[in-house]
Structure 1
Amino acid sequence: MQFGIFTVGDVTPDPTTGRTPTEHERIKATVQIALKAEEVGLDVFATGEHHNPPFVPSSPTTTLAYIGARTSRILLSTATTLITTNDPVKIAEDYATLQHLTDGRTDLMMGRGNTGPVYPWFGKDIRQGVALAVENYALLHRLWREEVVDWEGRFRTPLQGFTATPRPLDGVPPFVWHGSIRTPEIAEQAAYYGDGYFHNNIFWPLSHTRQMVALYRQRFEHHGHGPADQAIVGLGGQVFMRKSSQDARREFRPYFDNAPVYGHGPSMEDFTAQTPLTVGSPQEVIDRYAAMRDHVGDYQRQLFLMDHAGLPLKTVLEQLDILGEEVVPVLRKEMAVGRPAHVPDAPTHASLVAQAASAAAEGSSDAAVGAAGAGGGR
């Protein structure tokens, strides 16, 4: 199972000091956080995509390519690639390039985003959000798998004899997750293609998460990709930890109370009771997240949001030390207990290359058997 972190790249004042980091500081901090994630043994670093203040990650491929040059092992992903407002041709080119630069340490998560004004900024209509996601991904899927594409749709100029370059590394496209919190059509899209489904359940009760993941699993099996428990599932999460629960809650409370995303609403106690946000000791985090598979089944990827709400960089790096040294090693063992052998691991470039080679060999074998049979019938 993969464990990692994701960032939304918010530029938020620290409520304890009143200081707001500059965009330059926040971008540089993102790189330091990714390097720390690799240092402490995490598997994945993912960044969101936003095109509006107070966020800085408007160019995920630039950031991930730079991090890729500074790291050697960690898998680099997006926490959202805006499939609705980005041109699928440009996505195909950018992420295939990133895949080559990182020697395959690249995957991405398709999403519609959570910022309505971004649609007209890129000449799109938010009322067509789901239709854009479906059509744009259908084109992207073909661009990565077909050398020459002829295509015509509703939202983009037609393509005639088009080849996206560079071609995917080793002929295998980056693995795709489809991220959605509340949209059944996106869970269906992930299931239709046999891709991964990521439910970023950080603001939702587990009853809703369970319902959406169950829908994806059912449809994955319906579309013939394998049993429902072999579907590829990822979850989001949020934690803040100190040695004692009291210290964690006391330190995090001003950040929670003033956070743009959930401040001035439910109390921290109510929010942690109703969502996966866990503020407490490392053992409390372990207990909470080890139980996630009781709700969604065995799954493949767990990402945590760690660097939001104005938390200073020093604090975030301390949190990553705790996560990597005290929490993730235990969760790895806990999640492995009783995990059925037929439940797959999260896909990597190496596993996808091996899978493609196996399928090609099986196809060649079937073709040889068929030719022999045809010859014997003459």
Structure 2
Amino acid sequence: MQIGVFTVGDVTPDPTDGRTPTEAERIQAMVAIALKAEEIGLDVFATGEHHNPPFVPSSPTTLLGYVAARTERLLLSTATTLITTNDPVKIAEDYAMLQHLSGGRVDLMLGRGNTGPVYPWFGQDIRDGLALAVENYALLRRLWREDVVDWEGRFRTPLQGFTATPRPLDGVPPFVWHASIRSPEIAEQAAYYGDGFFHNNIFWDAGHVRRMVQLYRRRFEHYGHGPADTAIVGLGGQFFMRRNSQDAVREFRPYFDNAPVYGHGPSLEDFSTLTALTVGSPQQVIDKTLSFREVAGDYQRQLFLVDHAGLPLKTVLEQLDLFGEEVLPELRREYAASKPAHVPDAPTHESLKAAAVAREEVPA
């Protein structure tokens, strides 16, 4: 099981004192969170991609390239790479470059995004969102797997004799997760290619998450990639901890109530009951997280949102220290003890390279 954290990079006022960090402070905070993730032994750090205030991570590969230079082991990923509004050629080249710079410590999570105005900013129509996701990814796969590409589609100019550079490290493209919280078409796309499916279940009830993951698993098997329970699944999550659960609820409540996404909506208690959010003691976080397997089956990646809604960096780092000390060892122990032998681990560059060598697709 890969366990990690992700950031959406929102610049949000702290509701307890009204202070809003500068963009520079927020960007440096994301770097500090990534470094803390490696320090406490997490596997993955992922950043979102947004092109509108109040968010700052408009260039994930720039951020991840900098983090790659400051870390040695951490797997670098995205919480969304916008497959709809980014040019597939640029995605292919940017993430291949990041592969080389990081020594293969990179994968990416493709999504359509949830901000309507971003489409016309990049010359697209939101009504074409699903068609863009399907066509752009089909091209991206070819750009990574074929040295010379001839291509013509609906949404970009044709390519004739085109070679994306640099080529993927060791001839092995980065592993791709397809992220969706509501679109069965994206679960179908992930299953068709045998890629990973990531459901960011911090906004949805267990029944919805179960239906989406089961759809992906059934279709993964249908397309001949293996039994349904061997499909590659990732889930989101969010926690806020103090050693005393009442202290956690009291401290986190103003952040929840004023959060940009779910603030001024359901109560903290109702939202915690319905979704993956856990506010309480370390043991409560352990128990709730382990219960996700009842919804999604044995899965391969668990990412937590830890820095949303104006939480100050000092508090986030305290949360990560507590997670590393009391939660992470227990999760690792439980996942290792209960994982069926036939369920694969999440792919890495080394495992993908080994599989390609075994198929004689790349030199040893």
TM superposition score category, shorter chain reference:
over 0.9
For 1:182, the equivalent position in structure 2 comes to 182
For 2:311, the equivalent position in structure 1 comes to 311
| 1:144 partner SS | helix
| 1:360 partner SS | coil
Distance in 1 (CA, whole Å) between partners of 2:329 and 2:236 is 18
One-letter amino acid matched to 2:225: H
For 2:121, the equivalent position in structure 1 comes to 121
One-letter amino acid matched to 1:203: F
Residue 336 of structure 1: how far off its partner (Å): 2.0
Distance in 2 (CA, whole Å) between partners of 1:190 and 1:266 is 32
* CA distances 1:113-158 after superposition (whole Å, capped 9, x unpaired): 0100000000000000000000000000000000111100000100
Aligned pairs for 1:105-144 (under 5 A) are 105-144=105-144
TM-score, length basis structure 1? 0.95
Aligned pairs for 1:224-239 (under 5 A) are 224-239=224-239
Residue 285 of structure 1: how far off its partner (Å): 0.4
Residue 338 of structure 1: how far off its partner (Å): 2.9
* CA distances 1:263-313 after superposition (whole Å, capped 9, x unpaired): 111110011001110000000000001111111110000000000100000
1:206 matches 2:196: no
For 1:340, the equivalent position in structure 2 comes to 340
Distance in 1 (CA, whole Å) between partners of 2:180 and 2:262 is 19
Residue 260 of structure 1: how far off its partner (Å): 1.4
Residue 353 of structure 1: how far off its partner (Å): 0.4
For 1:284, the equivalent position in structure 2 comes to 284
For 2:350, the equivalent position in structure 1 comes to 350
Aligned pairs for 1:128-277 (under 5 A) are 128-277=128-277
One-letter amino acid matched to 1:117: P
Distance in 2 (CA, whole Å) between partners of 1:119 and 1:193 is 25
One-letter amino acid matched to 1:198: F
| 1:226 partner SS | coil
Listed as ranges, the gaps of 5+ residues in structure 2 are: none
Distance in 1 (CA, whole Å) between partners of 2:78 and 2:276 is 21
Distance in 1 (CA, whole Å) between partners of 2:26 and 2:285 is 27
1:78 matches 2:78: yes
1:68 matches 2:65: no
Distance in 1 (CA, whole Å) between partners of 2:342 and 2:14 is 46
1:23 matches 2:26: no
Distance in 2 (CA, whole Å) between partners of 1:262 and 1:224 is 39
One-letter amino acid matched to 2:130: V
Residue 333 of structure 1: how far off its partner (Å): 1.1
* CA distances 1:158-184 after superposition (whole Å, capped 9, x unpaired): 001111000000000000000000000
* CA distances 1:82-128 after superposition (whole Å, capped 9, x unpaired): 00000000000000000000000000000000100000000000000
Distance in 1 (CA, whole Å) between partners of 2:190 and 2:80 is 14
TM-score, length basis structure 2? 0.99
Distance in 2 (CA, whole Å) between partners of 1:46 and 1:258 is 24
| 2:127 partner SS | helix
For 1:32, the equivalent position in structure 2 comes to 32
Distance in 1 (CA, whole Å) between partners of 2:156 and 2:351 is 34
For 1:298, the equivalent position in structure 2 comes to 298
The 10-residue stretch of structure 1 (338-347 or 303-312) with the greater mean CA deviation from structure 2: 338-347
Distance in 1 (CA, whole Å) between partners of 2:337 and 2:106 is 28
Distance in 1 (CA, whole Å) between partners of 2:305 and 2:110 is 18
| 2:6 partner SS | strand
Distance in 1 (CA, whole Å) between partners of 2:334 and 2:10 is 32
Residue 323 of structure 1: how far off its partner (Å): 1.4
Residue 329 of structure 1: how far off its partner (Å): 1.2
For 1:96, the equivalent position in structure 2 comes to 96
For 1:373, the equivalent position in structure 2 comes to none
Residue 337 of structure 1: how far off its partner (Å): 2.3
One-letter amino acid matched to 1:302: Q
Residue 325 of structure 1: how far off its partner (Å): 1.7
| 2:338 partner SS | coil
| 2:145 partner SS | coil
Distance in 1 (CA, whole Å) between partners of 2:233 and 2:324 is 22
Distance in 1 (CA, whole Å) between partners of 2:328 and 2:233 is 18
Identity of aligned residues (%): 80
* CA distances 1:178-201 after superposition (whole Å, capped 9, x unpaired): 000000010000001100000001
Listed as ranges, the gaps of 5+ residues in structure 1 are: 365-378
For 1:2, the equivalent position in structure 2 comes to 2
Distance in 1 (CA, whole Å) between partners of 2:147 and 2:153 is 19
Residue 262 of structure 1: how far off its partner (Å): 1.0
One-letter amino acid matched to 2:119: Y
One-letter amino acid matched to 2:88: P
| 1:272 partner SS | helix
Distance in 1 (CA, whole Å) between partners of 2:194 and 2:31 is 32
How many aligned residue pairs are there?
363
**Structure 1 residue runs of 4 or more that deviate by more than 4 Å after TM superposition:** none
Distance in 2 (CA, whole Å) between partners of 1:224 and 1:16 is 53
Distance in 2 (CA, whole Å) between partners of 1:167 and 1:216 is 30
